[in-house]
Amino acid sequence: MAAVSQLQRQFIEYATSLYNEGYLDDQFTQLQKLQDESNPDFVVEVVSLFFEDSEKLLNNLATALQQKIVDYKQVDSHVHQFKGSSSSIGAQRVTTVCVHFRNYCDEQNLDGCLRCLQQLNHEYILVRNKLEALFRLEQQILQAGGSIPMME
Amino acid sequence: MGMFSRRWRSPEFDDDDVHVLAVDDSLVDRKVIERLLKITSCKVTAVDSGWRALQYLGLDQQQEDDDTSPPHFVNVDLIITDYCMPGMTGYELLKKIKGSATFREVPVVIMSSENVLARIDRCLEEGAEDFIVKPVKLSDVKRLKDYMFGTTTTHLHTSPPNHNNNINKEDKATLNKRKLQEMSDASPSTSTSSSSPTLSPSPSPS
């Protein structure tokens, strides 16, 4: 059906742009390889866990940086976790901010940390919106009776 | 010599799939590693801390070094653990496992997002079998499984090609040195130091 192939083309274009713009990297493709008929929702499930985890971490980071005496080890520990989970799902831009963030933690640079937290929030919301849009496209394809194209 | 195949398997696993204990405090990573292992036909037990891993292995009590303690029915072929974990690090867990009479021969693989040579060296010196840099990919897990346990088509140790599944399973059993220890305890005539092909215990390279 024309509608299915159009949706599939849209999907490929959108996914490609996400990779090109650095929102996603190869690890996201790796996750898609782990999805099959026996585990058709694997990627959505992992990404949902990432969303939950991220929101908790962002809250913890905000709290930690608001303390009168900031415990940079604690801040670093949260960022380390965030770096790990974002890297595991291929959310490359989030991971990159985490790397800078950790440097500021090492320097105990509060300003730098606060700026990174802002950036982290921003990048997280961006990737979350884009992934949700991608998943919606997937659903549309499936509902139209088509299959989701595999990314190279 | 069919006696090696099923005697040391605990009741809940009635086939010879590789059983992996995965340890990672990150929920996201646990989900990923679990799927990676299952897709490569491993049975997985995933826990969120070093302490839980020790609990699962029955090593959280004092008597882990006491050889007269009751036999464990936990059958683990591989332990794969994250390095950076709150409480007990993967390195500390590795040391405890290598310090245990029952589990010291189980291969332990460390995962870490940090590719630090000193860290890798330290882990390998303490007896880790391998070190994987995160994020973990399917090819990492396949490679690991293949060189540690062989597959039904590819065997990376010295035995000649096997033509039926039973022999493959026995080979898999012989690669786990912990089982070798139990075998030599159970049947004094079995040699654990020879590396004869196919059905006799062969020590894995260190």
Give the torsion sign (CA, B155, B160, B165, B171). Answer: negative
What ipTM was predicted for this assembly? 0.94
Q: Does residue B205 form part of some domain?
A: no
Provide the residue-wise pLDDT of chain B in tens; the chain has 206 residues: 433 333 344 445 445 789 999 999 999 999 999 999 999 999 999 999 999 999 999 998 755 555 555 555 789 999 999 999 999 999 999 999 999 999 999 999 999 998 899 999 999 999 999 999 999 999 999 999 988 887 643 333 334 444 444 434 444 433 333 333 444 455 444 444 444 444 444 444 44
A to B CB pairs, distance under 8 Å: 50
Q: Check B32 against A88: CB less than 8 A apart.
A: yes
Domain that holds residue B61: 18-192
Q: Check A81 against B113: CB less than 8 A apart.
A: no
Q: Does residue B1 form part of some domain?
A: no
Element (H, E) at B108: strand B108-112
- pLDDT single digits (tens) A26-39: 999 999 999 998 99
- B84 in contact with chain A, both atoms CB, cutoff 8 A: yes
Q: Does residue B76 form part of some domain?
A: yes
Q: For residues A86 and B66, which has the higher predicted lDDT (pLDDT)?
A: A86
Q: What is the count of structural domains for chain B? A: 1
Interface of B with A in 33-52 (CB under 8 A): 35-36, 39
Element (H, E) at B142: helix B138-149
Chain B: residue whose CA lies nearest to A38? B39
Residues B96 and B108: beta-carbon distance below 8 Å: no
Q: Does residue B137 form part of some domain?
A: yes
Q: Does residue B5 form part of some domain?
A: no
Q: Does residue B204 form part of some domain?
A: no
Sequence letter at residue B155: H
pTM of the model: 0.78
Q: Does residue B80 form part of some domain?
A: yes
CATH of residue B130's domain is 3.40.50.2300
Q: Check B135 against A88: CB less than 8 A apart.
A: yes
Q: Does residue B186 form part of some domain?
A: yes
